[in-house]
Amino acid sequence: MRPPWIALLQYLVGTSALGLEDQHELISSELEHELLAPQDQPDRAVLAEGHAWPEAPLECIQVAQPVRGPSGPVLQGTAIHSLAGEAPGEPCCSMLLMEHSFGFSYGKPFVGQYQPPGCDFDRVIMNFTVTSAGRQFDRLALMFFNDTEVWRTSTAEPKPSPGIVWTYWKDMTQYLSLWKAPQTLIFDLGNLINDKYTGSFNCTLTATFFKSNVAHHGSPPADLVIPISARKGATGSGSAWTVPQQQAINTVSFPRNAVKAVFSVSANGQASEEFWWSNVLQSDVAAFNKTVGLLPGLSPFREVQVYIDDRLAGAAWPFPVVFTGGVSPSLHRPVVGLEAFDLREHEVDLSPWLPLLCDGNDHTFRIRVVGLYDDKNSAFLTDRIGDYWVVTGKIFVWLDEEGSVTTGRSPEIKAPEPAIRISHETRQNDSWINEDLTYSLHVQRNISVKGEVTTRNGSRTSAWAQALAYTNLGAVASFGNHYINNMTITGAEQAQGPRFYFSVYSYPLYANSSHITSPTNNLTIEAELDQGLYLEIRGDPVFPTGLEAFTTTARNTNQSLVGSRVATFRTGQASFYQSGDGRHSSGFGSTRQHFCFGGIKSEGGSSVDVELYRRDMAAVNDTVIFDEEKVSVPGPIPSHNGSRHRQQKHRYPEREQVGPFAFAPAKGKHVPWGSIEAEKRHHL
């Protein structure tokens, strides 16, 4: 049965020509018939030139909202040289930060010295362009200024020559205080080159600096950014922790004149924790030991916790990023998964803690990643997790006048243990061998922190609150060779005093995958992956939301917007084959994504959505067959690199729905989600 969240997301983003109701199971003949059909609506869709000619590198894309450039919105995929051809806008200057090829690069990050440019600026955007050809896994990459992580991304998986190319634009204005001073730039992209994995990642990173007449959405950037990291920048190394092998703890001396503080946490599972959301309860790890071996356990739930002096300050329930080799590689080219090129961080407001943090003493900050351990009937939080999570944090601090001291009343914390409900059941065949496992997990948690903060402007109450909910309905069928997960994470968070910040979000994911390994280790995967993201932010966020690109002071356009809203869903089907020696692989994949970004306008006590950007894409076997993009903004917009070819909209036949126990038993070795990628995650 189709997960109910799909209908909800469709309602939120509006009716689309590529709606998820159009289920499909394409075969080659049907695809050819559709491609050659008459173009009854030739003005509805476009196809980039890079996809039309096989001698050009394949352009890979993450669908995302534009960023603010010197002359207005800069669309994702825009070439860096296109900015020079824009209509006159705000004065700008550009700087090459890095040009480097990451070959055998584990433990060998790029290290360079950054000096601020000579031009005046209050906004910074980065362009990251990568080419790669050959065979390679996806890789995680982290960018640091000294000890502070400032960006986290991952790579697409290349193909043989001419390979692939992608470009991503990132607004980096939140780190303005760092850009104003010299920095050691460390870009850590661990890669492996040998006779099997041949693809290097050739990376160019450029920053554009400009002075904007557009006000910041919320407060100006922080005066100070304090890293919470392994602090290895002085040795030219990346400063991320790997948890649980390392303890993610720092001792910090806080400025006494802080008036506002926000913690941001960046955490992603790798290796055996990459597909944490598909794990089973710990009591069920041996359910298929007789047929496929032990399953990954400690539940499909993870929580990233932030502690101050051993007291819980807040939590992040991580977005389930599916990297570009995840589940099935054919799902991710050329349209990569949600957040694959730009891994979003999570905010926890620390302002209620300022009376404690500004007392002149050192304070400890700790990041923990926890899962669930169960006794078959109940479950509880545990810091026993698999190997491993890549973790850093940072504190954005806004300062009062020099010499002032923030005081007040220490925070009152209400953080009861989460409410957890589990159920699980196995079904056996006539030989008393487990054939199927079904399980459900429901978690709810509320956290609130409240304090009284006194500055030179007086006293006020400062509060941070979170309400989080998690559901995962899972099944392992066909004697352990077939996985199904239907998961949703939802949250609502609010900060009050001195800043107002409100966010509400939903992370639904549906994955259905079967794995068969032959006696000669040949691997066959059939997979379906549907994933959505709904994110609404109002008030004063630390990170740019995208509204900046649509605010034009000269025309007073969109000045009344009080928040932003992203609603996107992506669906894909794929098959994948890999030979036993790992040297040959092939696959089929089709994906579709609908993305809508808008502003929230407050009118008469009610909220009105203003659509600002929309993109619909469909791709089959490395080819974009539909790409419609709409930007609601006056004035010129940089175009995509290359000309745009018209192509007709495709309609897909209905796909048969299959229940979790309708699959015939299959013999073969169990292959977990990420086993074909185990080698890529091992740091040498």
- Chain position carrying tokens 């990569």: 336
Pairing of strands 389-399, 241-243: antiparallel
**Cβ distance 478 to 379 under 8 Å?**
no
Residue 674, Cβ neighbours under 10 Å: how many?
22
Q: Please name the amino acid found at residue 204.
A: T
- CA distances 45 to 388, 568, 621, Å, are 42, 19, 18
The span from the CA of 276 to the CA of 525, in Å, is 19
Q: What is the pLDDT of residue 77?
A: 83
User: 42: exposed, middle or buried (C-beta count within 10 Å: 0-12, 13-18, 19+)?
Assistant: exposed
Q: Per-residue DSSP letters for 82-101?
A: GGGGSPS-S-EEEEEEEEEE
Return all residues near 410 (Cβ < 8 A) that are at least 6 apart.
Answer: 355, 356, 451
Which stretches does DSSP call E strand in 520-622? 523-539, 561-578, 585-603, 606-620
Bridge partners (DSSP) listed for residue 492: 467, 504
Tokens coding 342: 């730009």
**Cβ distance 421 to 372 under 8 Å?**
no
pTM of the model: 0.85
Return all residues near 296 (Cβ < 8 A) that are at least 6 apart.
Answer: 272, 275, 278, 279, 280, 285, 386, 672
Is residue 155 left, alpha or beta, with left meaning phi > 0 and alpha meaning psi from -120 to 50? beta
Is residue 556 left, alpha or beta, with left meaning phi > 0 and alpha meaning psi from -120 to 50? left
Question: Interior CA angle at 539 toward 537 and 545, to 5°?
Answer: 45
The span from the CA of 340 to the CA of 154, in Å, is 6
Q: What is the pLDDT of residue 609?
A: 85
- CA distances 518 to 525, 584, 587, 668, Å, are 12, 15, 17, 6
Residue 235, Cβ neighbours under 10 Å: how many?
10
The span from the CA of 417 to the CA of 445, in Å, is 7
Q: What is the pLDDT of residue 212?
A: 87
Q: Per-residue DSSP letters for 523-539?
A: EEEEEEEEEEEEEEEEE
The span from the CA of 289 to the CA of 19, in Å, is 40
C-alpha Rg value of the chain to the nearest Å: 25
Backbone phi and psi for residue 5, each to the nearest 5 degrees, phi listed first: -70, -20
- How do residues 278-292 score in pLDDT, each as one tens digit? 999 999 999 999 999
Q: What is the pLDDT of residue 89?
A: 61
Helix (H) or strand (E) holding 33: helix 28-35
User: 158: exposed, middle or buried (C-beta count within 10 Å: 0-12, 13-18, 19+)?
Assistant: buried
**Cβ distance 473 to 440 under 8 Å?**
yes
Residue 161, Cβ neighbours under 10 Å: how many?
9
- How do residues 543-601 score in pLDDT, each as one tens digit? 999 999 988 643 445 557 899 999 999 999 999 888 998 888 888 999 999 999 999 98
Low-confidence ranges of the chain (pLDDT < 70): 1-54, 80-90, 215-218, 552-559, 603-608, 633-684
